[in-house]
Amino acid sequence: MRDVHSELCDILALMREGKWNVAHDRVQRHEGLLAAWLHGILHLQEGDLEDAENWYERAGRRFRQRGTLEEEFLAFESALEGP
């Protein structure tokens, strides 16, 4: 069984490829702060700012203090790598 971090990394790759529907279907299967953050980034990428803000809140992150989409991708990748 694959770990959650690997799954989230794969979902991020799908997002970078513009495969939002597949990424959205997959991210919904996961719980936890990282999955919620990635879900928020996905909605940000889609331009759905209301849902993005909701998911950022669920992830314990401040939506209005986020970076650009690319900065969020990079920050998420760093978070997956751990401290």
State the distance between the two ends of the chain, measured CA to CA, in whole angstroms: 24
pTM: 0.92
Helical H segments across the chain, by residue range: 4-16, 20-27, 33-46, 49-58, 69-81
Total domain count, the chain: 1
- Taking only the tens place, the pLDDT of each residue in 51-69 is 999 999 999 999 999 999 9
Q: Which residues of the chain are under the pLDDT cut of 70?
A: 1-2, 83
| CA atoms of 58 and 19, how far apart (whole Å) | 23
What is the extent of the structural domain holding 52? 4-81
Cβ contact 35:42 at 8 Å: no
